[in-house]
Chains A and B, each alone.
Chain A
């Protein structure tokens, strides 16, 4: 489809969103990410049955932790879409970039500079 999406989005591939743990989200912020977006399959369509449902719960927990430590839970978002929805993926990447731009950079980075 050769769709374009913002170049500042870095893609980390995982076999299933069920593989994503809270610590991975936390580490992304420690390493300077401004936001983390989990993109899982549609609910009910997980090859491992409930991987994406578990991921959503972990995202909720990670949001809580990020609020506690002052990074802001709003910086983590989960979306569900099918692998045939390239257009939607590009749109999500744009939406996410906009949202993060509004929130500003990762506060850890501004403290360092």
Chain B
């Protein structure tokens, strides 16, 4: 899923200063699962904003709407009947959803209420961690399921750097060294000889370095 984190309240309240009718948007997908911008978080943030503004003597009207997805046109379209009743949209969807709503309703400003952070997994209830950076050319076959692009702070492809100590990454003592994990995995699967295969320099043009990416399936286009 795409993982996000709610922005600090101060920052949100500052963005909302000029507005008094707010459409607060949530999303039922990734940001619901990572508890950053689903219906529950929308309700809590709306309540916090109302309390703050009421206390300031500048009350706000907030409509809380959580779309099935903010990254698909059919759901974004459902905002049409009422979006113009508001001064601004504050979105708790990921960065994709925030932009997509803005693209559809060009007369509206769509403000971000979350910082979109990474593609990750739920390691345990309330704990999410990064696993993939969408490099566009997956090497998980070579590293037996541990991503060196994401899980190594330096995205190294041929063994660890000199800072790998006792299985821990030198960048952060709470992060396991990705290459330790990979070597352990080779051993576990009796495939340590794979470690000797030299990986050529990675072509990063399939990643962000090649600019924004687009995927087209002609057979599905209408």
Q: Indicate with 1 or 0, residue by residue over B31-63, a CB within 8 angstroms of chain A CB atoms.
A: 000000000100110011111101111000000
Q: A68-B9, A69-B9 are in contact. Are A108 and B54 (CB under 8 A)?
A: yes
Separation in Å of the A34 CB from the closest CB of chain B? Answer: 13
B106-159 contacts to A, CB under 8 A, are none
Chain A residues within an 8 Å CB radius of B44: 22-23, 26, 65
Total A-B Cβ pairs within 8 A: 46
Contact present for A68 and B54 (CB under 8 Å): no
Within 8 Å by CB of B48, from A21, A68, A111, A112, lies A68
Chain B residues within an 8 Å CB radius of A111: 54-57
- The count of residues in chain B whose C-beta lies closer than 8 Å to any C-beta of chain A is 15
Separation in Å of the B12 CB from the closest CB of chain A? Answer: 10
In the assembled complex, the Cα of A65 lies from the Cα of B49 at a distance in Å of 10
* A interface, over-half SS: helix
Within 8 Å by CB of B50, from A21, A23, A30, A66, lies A30
Known: A23-B40, A23-B47, A111-B56. 13 other contacts (CB 8 A): A23-B44, A26-B44, A26-B48, A30-B51, A66-B51, A68-B9, A68-B48, A68-B52, A69-B49, A70-B55, A71-B51, A108-B54, A111-B54
